[in-house]
Amino acid sequence: MSNPDGPMQKHHFLLRRLHSLTGILPIGVFLIMHLTTNSTIAWGGLNGRAHGDGWLDRAIATFQHEVSFINETPLLLLIEITLWASIAFHSILGVIYAVSGNMNNGSYKYGGNTRYMLQRVTGYVGILFIFYHIATLRWGWTWLVPGGVKWSHENAASTLAAALQGSTEQFTEWGLVVAIFYFVGVTMLVFHFANGLWTAAITWGFTISRSAQKRWGYACAALGAGLMVMAWASVVGFATLDYDQAREVEEAMKSGHEPVPQMTDDHTETATAEHSNIDG
Amino acid sequence: MSDAEAHAYDADMRRANRRKAVDGRSVIFKIKRCDGPGKPSRWESFKVPVEEGANVISSLKWIAANPVTTEGSKTTPVVWDSGCLEEVCGACTMVINGRVRQSCSCLIDEYAPLEGDVITLEPMSKFPVIRDLWVDRDRLFSALTRVKAWVPIDGTYNMGAGPKESPEHQQMRYALSECMSCGCCLEACPQYTKVEDEEKWDTSFVGAHAISQARLFNEHGTGKQLKGERYDALSGPGGVSDCGNAQNCVKVCPKGIPLTESIGAVGRGTTIHAIKQFFQGKK
């Protein structure tokens, strides 16, 4: 890296700016979408078109519907590889940049200095968390999952609940460790994104004056607070979700109750009734 | 506690200390000493009687005249650097009670109001020590050369009068021009680390002071002729993008220079410079 003719030095500016950009696009934008999908476990009950009578049943069904929708995206693997490559790029450069500094929070206890430290700590922990998250739930490294449950997009809510709880029956001790790791992980990543968005505006030169930096700071804090609520709702929602209840809703959806009829005029009602009869 | 409150608290605390300062007391100076470049450092303590209005430099002068430690052993006088003694030259900058500032303007009444209070003195940690509290700030000045912090007026003919300057713009530049190259912003910066090897200075982080000076001369009617060259230097390794936005620089600057605004402005300048270069090629 200290080689003055090396690629790191030659393309220094471009790499720095790409490091900043990848944090927002695609990683940050994906984070917003990901948390929106996952937090349906908390607010999906609002979805009147979802299968199920109770609030939680509709939430489970909405989440399953969203996961199935994402899995039908054309060229999904290409999108995923783009994301993984961006995360790897942002992580590797981030670590190289982070270790080039020396924290001095003991002597200079300013808010900005604390955020500087937190940005690096949340980055390090965030890398571990994202790796564990993708390895277990996407690549199927079930040996890293207590209870060994393999996440399946066909039983999205139930298998996720089991992966967070350590078994399909009840919370195990290792399940609690995983759930806490998830809680800490998402909290840190949401902070990292919100704070990174604030510093990126200075880096690129969008915010110059102190008042502009302050205003943008409030905007980033508001976005961060919103995402934090979604992140916590997702983790708590799935960590407390009953496996059997989720499984029941998912199986019911698979056996043809999805999509739920949209219109309720006489004609379709009859048609649905007939359809149900055939099923039965 | 917000930064502004922390600042006010510091100032309030110092004012309160001044009110309770005891006459005729002695205070302890705990000083980090080093006999020369590459030599190991050691701590020595000195008991110094406090005169009215004493500051760190006047206390160091007393120690130079009475170089005896609190254990009673005779030692060499403590070496320090200083110039103006009115906080405008920056030479006497050192780390006092763990934080960087000028020692000439550091009043003993504000830091050690009671008998036996301790004041810790250390040399700045980001520059090589020459001896005791005296450091070599060469890298700081080489950074100013790196960003061409000057107005190019040397030539073979008269360039005539400079462009007109509005009072508002002049005021903005005046704030930046107050920099005295003391090194406080660099000492407090977590991203500015000590680099002994001179060969590596040009690719190591340039620091807030040089970024701000580049902005000052970019804003000068004639100085802006070198804008492109300054942005070239500040886009390279160790340039403005190495800033980690801890923003300690602006908090410790004794002149209250808006260093973080300069970092934002130069960040914008380098962004535009890079986009221009991408589409137009290097000129």
* Domain C-terminal end among B134, B157, B172: B134
Rounded to whole angstroms, how far apart are CA atoms B271 and B254?
Answer: 30
Q: Does residue A211 belong to the interface with chain B, where contact is any CB pair within 8 Å?
A: no
Candidates B94, B187, B241: best to mutate against A (most CBs of A within 10 A) is B241
Question: In the structure, what pLDDT confidence band is assigned to residue B6 with cuts at 50, 70 and 90?
Answer: low
Same domain assignment for residues B118 and B106: yes
Cis peptide before A26 (omega within 30 of 0): yes
Q: How far is CA A106 from CA A36, A166, B98, B101, in A?
A: 38, 39, 9, 16
* Domain C-terminal end among B104, B134, B164: B134
Q: To the nearest whole number, what is the mean pLDDT of chain B?
A: 94
CB pairs under 8 A between A and B: 115
In this structure, how many other beta carbons lie within 10 angstroms of the beta carbon of residue A102?
A: 13
Residues 6+ apart with CB under 8 A from A190: A31, A35, A224, A227, A228, A231
Q: Does residue B269 belong to the interface with chain A, where contact is any CB pair within 8 Å?
A: yes
Q: Does residue B272 belong to the interface with chain A, where contact is any CB pair within 8 Å?
A: yes
Rounded to whole angstroms, how far apart are CA atoms A136 and A55?
Answer: 29
Chain B positions touching A14 (Cβ under 8 A) are 274
B259 within domain boundaries: yes
B130 within domain boundaries: yes
Sort strands B134-135 and B118-122 into parallel, antiparallel or unpaired.
Answer: unpaired
* Domain C-terminal end among B134, B167, B202: B134
Q: Check residue A274 and give its pLDDT.
A: 45
Q: Check residue B260 and give its pLDDT.
A: 97
> Count H helices, E strands: chain A?
12, 0
Q: Tell whether the torsion through CA atoms of B197, B202, B203 and B206 is positive or negative.
A: positive
CB–CB contact B251 A107 (8 Å): no
Sort strands B26-34 and B41-49 into parallel, antiparallel or unpaired.
Answer: antiparallel
Phi, psi of B30 (to 5 degrees): -100, 115
Q: Check residue A189 and give its pLDDT.
A: 98
What is the domain range of residue A21? 10-100+110-257
CB–CB contact B241 A204 (8 Å): no
A136 within domain boundaries: yes
- Residues of chain A scoring pLDDT < 70: 1-4, 257-280
Length of chain A: 280
Q: Considering only residues A262 and B82, tell me which one the structure prediction assigns the higher pLDDT.
A: B82
Rounded to whole angstroms, how far apart are CA atoms B36 and B13?
Answer: 36
CATH of residue A239's domain is 1.20.1300.10
Task: Tally the domains of chain B.
Answer: 2
The pair of structure tokens assigned to A187 is 């909290």
Same domain assignment for residues B44 and B142: no
Chain A: closest CA distance from residue B155 (Å): 33
Same domain assignment for residues B55 and B107: yes
Same domain assignment for residues B119 and B214: no
Task: Tally the domains of chain A.
Answer: 1
SS3 (DSSP) at A37: helix
> CA-nearest residue of chain B to A94?
B244
Residue A151, amino acid: W
B7 within domain boundaries: no
CB B234 within 8 Å of CB B240: yes
Q: Name the residue facing B264 among A13, A119, A202 (closest C-beta).
A: A202
Place of tokens 């005046």: B174
Sort strands B26-34 and B118-122 into parallel, antiparallel or unpaired.
Answer: parallel
Same domain assignment for residues B159 and B229: yes
Q: Check residue A272 and give its pLDDT.
A: 46
Q: Check residue A8 and give its pLDDT.
A: 84
For residues B12-43, one letter each, b for 16 or more C-beta atoms within 10 angstroms of the residue's C-beta and e for the rest, the string is: eeeeebeeebeeebebbbebbbbeeeeeeeee
Q: Which residues pair with A250 in a beta bridge?
A: none
Angle between helix axes B208-218 and B259-280 (nearest 10 degrees) is 70
Q: Check residue B2 and give its pLDDT.
A: 52
The percent of chain B in helix, strand and coil, each rounded to the nearest 5, is 40, 15, 45
B25 within domain boundaries: yes
The pair of structure tokens assigned to A268 is 């379709």
ipTM of the complex: 0.93
Same domain assignment for residues B274 and B150: yes
Q: Check residue A148 and give its pLDDT.
A: 92
A274 within domain boundaries: no
Q: What is the pLDDT of residues B31-43, one digit of tens each?
A: 999 999 999 999 9
Residue B249, amino acid: C
SS3 (DSSP) at B99: strand
Same domain assignment for residues B188 and B240: yes
Q: What is the pTM of this model?
A: 0.92
Chain B: closest CA distance from residue A219 (Å): 18
CB–CB contact B237 A9 (8 Å): yes
Same domain assignment for residues B97 and B29: yes
Q: Name the residue facing A207 among B193, B264, B266 (closest C-beta).
A: B264
CB–CB contact B236 A12 (8 Å): yes
CATH of residue B165's domain is 1.10.1060.10
Same domain assignment for residues B227 and B250: yes
Same domain assignment for residues B82 and B105: yes
B153 within domain boundaries: yes
What is the domain range of residue B73? 14-134
Q: What is the pLDDT of residues B114-141, one digit of tens each?
A: 999 999 999 999 999 999 999 999 999 9
Within 13 Å and on the Cβ side, how many CA atoms surround B69?
13
A1 within domain boundaries: no
Chain A positions touching B232 (Cβ under 8 A) are none
> CA-nearest residue of chain B to A8?
B237
DSSP secondary structure string for all residues of A51-92: S-SSHHHHHHHHHHHHHHHHHTSTTHHHHHHHHHHHHHHHHH
Q: Which residues numbered 183-242 in B keep a CB inside 8 Å of some CB on A? A: 188, 190-191, 193, 200, 203, 235-237, 239, 241-242
Segment B166-187 mean pLDDT: 97
Q: Considering only residues B50 and B1, tell me which one the structure prediction assigns the higher pLDDT.
A: B50
Phi, psi of B183 (to 5 degrees): 100, 0
B200 within domain boundaries: yes
Same domain assignment for residues B214 and B164: yes
A145 within domain boundaries: yes
